[in-house]
Amino acid sequence: MMKWIYELFESDIKSITSLSGGNVSQVFKVVTTSDVFVVKCNYEKNAEVYFKAEVNGLHQIKATNTIETPAIHSYGKIENNAYLILEWIPTKNADQEAMHTLGIQLSQLHSTTETTYFGAKEHNFIGNLPQNNTINPSWSTFYALQRLYPQLGIARKLGYLLKEEIPNLDNIQKVMTTIADNTKPSLLHGDLWHGNILIHENGTPYLIDPSVYYGHNEMDLAMTKLFGGFSNNFYQGYHENIPPHKNQNALTEVYQLYYLLVHLNMFGNSYRSKAVELLKRYFL
């Protein structure tokens, strides 16, 4: 594997270091005589499609001029190995000021949307699972059809959920229409856990590994609360520009259900009990 990485760079490579945090791909820090890079590698058959979707997402976020993303150097395939080469971001631990700035900038990202639909013109991935972004004018319908139902179907097929634990589609839509009324589309990162933010040494926040589409802004906020790592300063900064939805507590749980189902389907039964609890609370 190391051999073909050397073929990607014109400058001589001084070192290659494996990095943690890659659930889907292997990630390396590559130091050359001229610069430092992140190289993501994946050997799956359709892995180049993963990276194309990631590149598209990074471009979309970058184009809003709200939050920084790493520069994209190149991506492609060599010796049946898909790769993506990104700018290396020297980081520091997130302090209160940086998290406040991130909150403000995320609210700006969510405020720049000019579309009237939910979804995206291209499908992408959440983790290594396909994420269907078929456009829909109704957020309630989109969330039911393109978010919950595909993951519920996978969970049923894999044996993680029983037939009686799968809610009726109409009921999901009715509940969503009630609690997520007057929803406007925002460009979402789509997988905003703390592992997908970086704080540059100079204090600038960066977003990585997006799964972008147009959806309810509370989706991104719900994900930030699922595994923690986001301080009160972050939420204070965010809500300076966008107030909490009147049903934010319920929406947080309903939107976390999507991510819990994704984790159930990727990592197994440790996520089952919480997912079933939320299914029963809201939809069964």
The catalytic residues are 191
- Neighbour count for residue 262 (Cβ, 10 Å): 24
Region of 122 on the Ramachandran plot (φ > 0 left; ψ -120 to 50 alpha; else beta): beta
Q: Which of 241, 240, 227 is nearest to 197 (CA)?
A: 227
* Phi, psi torsion values for 11, nearest 5 degrees: -80, 155
CA dist 47 → 5, 51, 172 (Å): 16, 7, 33
For residue 19, the SS3 value is: strand
* Phi, psi torsion values for 48, nearest 5 degrees: -60, -30
Burial of 282 (0-12, 13-18, 19+ CB in 10 A): middle
CA dist 219 and 134 (Å) reads 17
Angle of helix 217-226 versus helix 232-239 axis, rounded to 10: 170
Residue identified by tokens 């839509």 is 173
